Amino acid sequence: MSLPIRPAVQASPDYPFSAITAPVKLDQNESFADFPDELKAIALQRLHTLPWHRYTDLHAEALCDAVARHEDWASSGTVVTTGSNVLISLLVQLAGMGARVLTVKPNFALYGLDAQLLGASLTEVPLRPDFSTDVDALIAALGEAPGRGVVFVPRPHAPTGSLCELDELERLAQACRDGWLLVIDEAYHHFTEHDARALARRHPHVVLLRTFSKAWGLAGLRLGYALAGDDVARQLRKLVPPFGVSVLQTVCALVALENPGYLRQRIALTLSERARVFEALRSHPQWEVIPSQANFLLVRTPDAEQAHAALLAQGVLVRRQDRLHGLEGCLRVTVGTVAENDAFLRAAGLSP
């Protein structure tokens, strides 16, 4: 007997992740610090007073309002879901099914996986050798048939940390005008200077993706959101499961948005630690470190398997990226606390 599973799903690989535990965990680009204790206490207290037997808002309207205020965006154009990874799938459903998904490579695995699972035709345009986004090649690829679908550009790029210039993205947005949704994945935007909101305001077919999983220190909460034009947001909401954001998620995110002060200090520490680890890695006799605008650094080693194992043997977990296009020998290390970064540098044979 064969199971009634679509061939595209059967042919799709599992999400490329295996859980490993280690004392120093620098493999998932999480925040180096937990959600502040005092904010956890406020959230728990508020949760206690709320009814749990009632459904939450249909589309997390109260949370959308708070996110929109924080982002200086229209609430009508804000769509909150349980993680921005959900939105990647929904955006492929919205504009890519029966059409195309266009992105760069190497890339965040979900763009390609969702394209495959949902039966969209996938085109991946290689980054240039310096890891910059080749916007001319992306624009050229838009012309292939069928000339419609969704384009994903992570900014900063994951997993290299490079940054596509905003005027380059403007060119891409203009080229996407007929038939393409341009999604700029800003999961790591807190760690760079300029974001793409002004660009998205100018173009109703441009969508920004953001998450509570990185700078906010709430990866375990599972919340992300799209900032879009009203028309795209209205259509996207039809695909979002009703009542999907729980009372726990809503309350914790509202408390975070009411108290965003803790972000500034954490982002500043991430940036200064990123610079310190980068400088230290530059003196490594065999490794090459790539400049990054995110909360991680990509490092090219002569042998990723060996380097990964050697770090892990000393209690430091980083992520192998060497199976991705153009990233032979590469490892990705999250910027952690000062002590974690010191442990990483020591394990790499460097003095912190």
Ligand X SMILES: Cc1ncc(COP(=O)(O)O)c(C=O)c1O
Residue nearer to ligand X on the CB measure, 219 or 267 = 219
Q: Of 307, 294, 302, which Cα lies nearest the Cα of 328?
A: 302
Q: Is 330 in the site for ligand X (CB under 6 A)?
A: no
Amino acid at 139: I
Residue 211, interface with ligand X (CB under 6 A)?
A: yes
Judged by CB under 6 A, does residue 154 bind ligand X? yes
Nearer to ligand X, 250 or 342 (CB): 250
What would the DSSP string read from start to end of 198-229? Answer: HHHHH-TTEEEEEESSSTTS-GGG--EEEE--
Among 31, 78, 213, 341, binds ligand X (CB under 6 A): 213
Identity of the residue, 111 or 345, whose beta carbon is nearer to ligand X in the bound complex: 111
67 interacts with ligand X by CB under 6 A:
no
| Residue 112 engages ligand X in binding (rule: CB under 6 A) | no
Least spacing, CB of residue 306 vs ligand X, in Å = 25
Beta carbon nearer to ligand X, 15 or 52: 15
Q: Is 271 helix (H, G, I), strand (E, B) or coil?
A: helix
Tokens of 308: 């990964």
- Residue 35: phi, psi to the nearest 5? -55, 135
Provide the minimum distance between the beta carbon of 48 and ligand X in the complex, in angstroms, as a whole number: 27
CB of 199 to ligand X, least distance (A): 18
Buried b / exposed e along 42-52 (16+ C-beta atoms within 10 A): bbeeeeeeeee
Buried b (16+ CB within 10 A) or exposed e, 296-314: bbbbbbeebeebbeebbee
The pair of structure tokens assigned to 4 is 């009634």
Q: Exposed, middle or buried by CB within 10 Å (0-12, 13-18, 19+), for 330?
A: buried
> Of these, 35, 73, 108, 180, which contacts ligand X (CB under 6 A)?
108
Give the β-pairing of 206-211 and 224-227.
Answer: antiparallel
> Which of 84, 292 has the CB closer to ligand X?
84
Q: Which stretch binds ligand X (CB under 6 A): 7-15, 45-53, 79-87, 273-281?
A: 79-87
* Minimum gap (Å) between residue 158 Cβ and ligand X: 4
Per-residue x/- marks for ligand X, 9-48, CB under 6 A? --------------------x-------------------
State the binding string over 238-277 for ligand X (x if CB under 6 A, else -).
----------------------------------------
Helix (H, G, I), strand (E, B) or coil at 238: helix
Strands 296-300 and 288-290: antiparallel
Whose Cβ is closer to ligand X: residue 86's or residue 95's? 86
DSSP 52: S
> Binder to ligand X among 77, 83, 217, 329 (CB under 6 A)?
83
- If one asks whether residue 158 binds ligand X (CB under 6 A), the answer comes out as yes
Q: CB 351 → ligand X: shortest distance, Å?
A: 31
Is there a contact between 216 and 67 (Cβ–Cβ < 8 Å)? Answer: no
In the complex, minimum distance from the CB of residue 80 to ligand X, in angstroms, rounded to a whole number = 11
Nearer to ligand X, 110 or 289 (CB): 110
Buried b or exposed e, range 163-187, using 16+ CB within 10 angstroms: bbeeebbbebbebbeeebbbbbbbb
- Indicate which single residue of 185, 195, 273, 342 sits in contact with ligand X (rule: CB under 6 A): 185
Size of the site for ligand X (CB under 6 A): 13
Q: How far is the CB of 264 from ligand X (least distance, A)?
A: 21
- Give the whole-angstrom CA distance, residue 289 versus residue 345: 13
Dihedral sign from CA coordinates of 151, 157, 162, 165 = positive
The reply on whether position 224 binds ligand X by CB under 6 A is yes
Residues lying near ligand X in the complex (CB under 6 A) are found at 29, 83-85, 108, 154, 158, 185, 187, 211, 213, 219, 224
